[in-house]
Amino acid sequence: MNRRRFLQAGSSLALTALASSHLAFGADAEIVLSTDKPGEVISPHIYGHFIEHLGGVIYDGVWVGRNSAIPNIDGIRKQFVDDMKLIGAPNLRWPGGCFADGYHWRDGIGKARPRTHNFWQRRMPAGTDSTETNQFGIHEFMHLCRLIGTEPYVAANVGSSTPAEFHDWISYCNAPAGTLSLADERAKNGDPQPFNIQYWGVGNESWGCGGLMRPEEYAQKYRQFVTQFPNYKEPFLVATGPRGHSADEDIGWTTGFFEGMRGFDPPNGFSIHFYTDLRPTPLKAADFNVPEWYEVLLRGVRIDKVISDHWQEMGKFDTKRRTKFVVDEWGVWYKAGEELTPSYILSQPITMREAVHTGLTFDIFNRHADKIAMANVAQTVNCIHSLFLARGDKFVRTPVYHVFDMYRVHMGARQVPFTNPVAELNVPVLAGQARLPGLSASASMRDRRLAVTMTNPSAESSVKMRLRISGGARPTEARGTVLTHPDMHAGNTFSHPEEVKPGALPVTLSGDAVEVALPRNSVAVVECMLA
């Protein structure tokens, strides 16, 4: 990016803060960035999404219907499309989740769509009509993906289906019109062009709602489901992986699955689900104290070890490292009781705590860029760790949305190694004291543009940072953006949709360094042009 485009991009964010003075600063710590030793490319797919037929996620969150007064494009909520485009959403997983293993794709095509059972009915408030209307099927999903410009990732039914139903769905989606009858049926239903879906999940949580299987049973099912895969488009196949947030990390699932796959081609992707699962605790989403702030962050950063441990286990079998992780469900999940409205089950308020958790999680994903092919937040709208809350004509971006926006800079850029000498924090948590990173960061380069994202998880103190560039390059311009709020409980509501939003972060150029002060509970991005 040249200088003019860099400045224009900054002004479009309305957040430019350029400076070139040499002020006395007194940094608490210095990060040294080795821009001359770029590392792995960070897969854009790490910043991915997930929507499920559950509560208010699809119906209302995404699909408002063609006759709705809410601005829509062929029934799809326009604001959702526009905002997903703004953050460059790289992929979208659908239709579940647990819903996927009860879903039969034919129910969602054609004019007459049946009303069917939805897995989540059991959780809906008594008296709510929660049968699945199937108004949103594969055609509507693909129109949504095309409108956003995002890659579809479809989770197929293994738990209550057959390989034949799976293969027919793939053929329906991917075979060219004029070849198979299934492809002609797709054309008759409005889409002559093949969908060319590459990412297929072979089941979901097969150890739980996806069929209560043992790993070796699932490995056998997986083989049956993929052996005769209709190869119209080279697939990226994702096998069900562990429940990473289990106390034992569910390492046994990984061992059992790969044991069961000995002698066969391993999948391209192995899913990990990792929820920062507060459901067994009394913790609330909107109302919390300082130890509860740290408790959530502490449980969140556990994903770092879960990724390393499963990678090590997988390496015992997949010595050529043909399989990468797909962390296709992650987020902070609180117990029920704070929903947007009772029938929007699993929807929860999103505060600065989730924003900081998101920054910490993305830094961990970026550090493991060599292991992670994709990740999908659970779930994008009206759900657990959402970027958007929607109800009727009301729509709001949560603090999590803004973190996704700030981390866009890393999508497809090269990691930059750096030292991070900021001392760990000794923090109060539910069970006494614990240690948390004092500052979490990611750095990447694209052309001559360096981007450093930083998260200050402290509920009490700001931190002054000096970002020094080693290897002879010098920053010629820099700008900073920060997401923070004086009240760590703050979030965006329908009545206060912009309570939490990014603002300019003053930056100072000082020789080969950029200096910034990060407020407590904040997520920041500093972008510099290097000469």
Q: Which residues are catalytic?
A: 205, 329
Least separation in angstroms between residue 57's CB and ligand AHR is 9
Q: Which is nearer to ligand AHR, 45 or 53 (CB)?
A: 53
Least separation in angstroms between residue 32's CB and ligand AHR is 40
Q: How far apart are CA 512 and CA 531, in angstroms?
A: 10
Q: Measuring CA to CA, how many Å separate 238 from each of 206, 211, 220, 232, 473?
A: 12, 17, 14, 17, 41
Collect all residues with Cβ–Cβ distance below 8 Å to 2 and sequence separation of at least 6: none
Would strands 49-50 and 91-94 be described as parallel, antiparallel, or unpaired?
parallel
CA atoms within 13 A on the CB side of 416: 29
359 binds ligand AHR (CB under 6 A): no
329 binds ligand AHR (CB under 6 A): yes
Of 424-453, binders to ligand AHR (CB under 6 A) are none
Closest alpha carbon to 421 in 436, 439, 400, 407: 439
Q: Single out the segment in contact with ligand AHR by CB under 6 A; choices: 92-100, 215-223, 398-406, 514-522.
A: 92-100
Collect all residues with Cβ–Cβ distance below 8 Å to 211 and sequence separation of at least 6: 101, 158, 159, 160, 203, 218, 221
98 binds ligand AHR (CB under 6 A): yes
Q: Is the dihedral of CA 367, 151, 408, 6 positive or negative?
A: positive
Q: Which is nearer to ligand AHR, 201 or 457 (CB)?
A: 201
Least separation in angstroms between residue 331's CB and ligand AHR is 8
Q: Which is nearer to ligand AHR, 400 or 452 (CB)?
A: 400
97 binds ligand AHR (CB under 6 A): yes
527 binds ligand AHR (CB under 6 A): no
Helix axes 352-367, 399-407, angle to 10 degrees: 30
Tokens of 287: 């109302």
Least separation in angstroms between residue 50's CB and ligand AHR is 7
Of 390-409, binders to ligand AHR (CB under 6 A) are none
Q: Which of 271, 379, 440, 453 binds ligand AHR (CB under 6 A)?
A: 379
Q: Single out the segment in contact with ligand AHR by CB under 6 A; choices: 103-111, 246-254, 377-385, 462-470.
A: 377-385
> Strand, coil or helix: what is 12?
helix
Q: Single out the segment in contact with ligand AHR by CB under 6 A; choices: 95-103, 177-185, 298-306, 352-360.
A: 95-103
- Counting residues that bind ligand AHR (by CB under 6 A) gives 10
Collect all residues with Cβ–Cβ distance below 8 Å to 70 and sequence separation of at least 6: 64, 77, 78, 392, 393
Q: Which is nearer to ligand AHR, 103 or 172 (CB)?
A: 103
Q: Which is nearer to ligand AHR, 50 or 311 (CB)?
A: 50
268 binds ligand AHR (CB under 6 A): no
Least separation in angstroms between residue 519's CB and ligand AHR is 32
Q: Which is nearer to ligand AHR, 96 or 349 (CB)?
A: 96
101 binds ligand AHR (CB under 6 A): no
> Strand, coil or helix: what is 425?
strand
Collect all residues with Cβ–Cβ distance below 8 Å to 260 and sequence separation of at least 6: 215, 216, 218, 219, 220
Give the H or E element holding residue 172.
helix 163-174
Q: Measuring CA to CA, how many Å separate 164 from each of 109, 139, 224, 230, 384?
A: 18, 20, 10, 10, 33
Collect all residues with Cβ–Cβ distance below 8 Å to 523 and sequence separation of at least 6: 355, 356, 358, 359, 402, 403, 406, 453, 454, 455, 456, 482, 483, 484
10 binds ligand AHR (CB under 6 A): no
Q: Which is nearer to ligand AHR, 279 or 322 (CB)?
A: 279
Q: Which is nearer to ligand AHR, 153 or 172 (CB)?
A: 153
Q: Which of 16, 43, 52, 175 binds ligand AHR (CB under 6 A)?
A: 52
Cis peptide before 95 (omega within 30 of 0): yes
Q: Single out the segment in contact with ligand AHR by CB under 6 A; choices: 91-99, 104-112, 145-153, 386-394.
A: 91-99
Least separation in angstroms between residue 96's CB and ligand AHR is 5
Return the residue matching tokens 């860029």: 369
Task: Residue 305: count other Cβ atoms within 10 Å of its Cβ.
Answer: 12
Of 203-262, binders to ligand AHR (CB under 6 A) are 204-205
Tokens of 371: 């292991």
Least separation in angstroms between residue 155's CB and ligand AHR is 9
Question: Binding residues for ligand AHR, per CB under 6 A?
Answer: 52, 96-98, 204-205, 329, 378-379, 384
